[in-house]
Amino acid sequence: MKHAYIFPGQGSQFSGMGKNLYENNSNAKELFERGNEILGFRISDLLFSGTDEDLKKTNVTQPAVFLHSVVAYTTITDAKPDMVAGHSLGEFSALVANKTLEFEDALKLVSIRASAMQKACEINPSTMAAVLALDDAKVEAICKDIMEDTGEVVVPANFNCPGQLVISGSKKGIEIACEKMKAAGAKRALVLPVGGAFHSPLMKPAKEELAAAIEATKFAEPICPVYQNVVAKAITNPEEIKINLINQLTGAVRWTQLVQAMVADGATHFTEVGPGKVLQGLVGKIFKDAVVTGVS
C-alpha cells in the first residue's frame, strides 16, 4: 500500500483560494508573503479577492495555483509521499514536495514558464478542445491525418482519463479536428476557453526560454519518485527530471498512463493537494478502487 500525492494544474484556480490558510496559519502566511516578494507583486491579493478574469491570465494563474498547492502541502504535518505527480504545471509543485526543487527556485521557474507561454500564445493564435467518449487511438489517428493533409498543427495534449482527451493546435486545425471527431463518434468535441495551444509544437518558443532557466537551476536528489507527464513513469534522476520538465511544454500530459503506472507500482491512496477536485475525479475514473482525498 503506497500513498501518492498529486498536484493540479492551470484551470483549477478560483477566487478566494488560500485566504483561509493565510488568515489562520502563520507558516502559510509567511510562505505567501515570500511568494509575493519573489514575484515582485502581491499575487496573494489576486488569489484572495481577484476576479475570475484576473485569475485566468496565464502569467497569474500558474504561479497562483503553484503557490496555493505548495502552501497547502506544508500544512500536512504527517505527509510521507511514496510517490508524487502533477498535472502539467502541477509537476513543479510535485517537485517541491519530493524535495527536487527548493520553493524559491520552483516559483521563479513557474513565473518564467507562465510568461514564456503567454508570449508563445501571442506569437501563434491557437487553442485547445476537449474530446469526449472517443477512443484515444482514434483521436491520435485523426490528429495525425489532419496534420498530414492540411499542414495545420493539431495534437493530443492531455490524456486525462479514459474517454476524455484534450487536443491542442492552431485554431484552424482544432476547428477541422472537432468536426472530424464528432463525425467519428465523439460524444462532444468542444473548444476550450484557453489562450493558446499548450503542450503542442506551437509552444516551442516557450520551451527554449524555459530550458535555459531550468538548466541554470539546481535539481537535487528527490526523496521519492516523481511520475512525469511526458514519460508516464517513475523518475528519480535529477538530469532526467530536467529533460522531461522541458519537454513537457511541447509534449502531451499522459495523465491516464501516469496514474496507471503509479497503481502498477503499488499506489492505493491518492491525495490531491491544491485548489479544486479535478484530479480526484480523474483518478477515480482511471482506478475505481483508489482511496482518493484532497487537501485545499
Tell me if residue 15 is catalytic.
Answer: no
Which residues on neighbouring strands pair with residue 132, listed in sequence order? 164, 188
C-alpha cell at 266: 503499488
Q: How far is CA 256 from CA 33, 145, 158, 294, in A?
A: 35, 23, 9, 19
d(CA 71, CA 56): 20
For 233, how many CA atoms within 13 A lie in the half-sphere containing its CB? 3
Tell me if residue 199 is catalytic.
Answer: yes
C-alpha cell at 296: 485545499
Of the listed 12, 44, 69, 88, which one is catalytic?
A: 88
Which residues on neighbouring strands pair with residue 128, listed in sequence order? 168
DSSP for 280-294, written as a single string: HHHHHHH-TT-EEEE
d(CA 88, CA 85): 9
Of the listed 3, 68, 87, 199, which one is catalytic?
A: 199
Residues 6+ apart with CB under 8 A from 257: 159, 232
Catalytic (active-site) positions: 88, 199
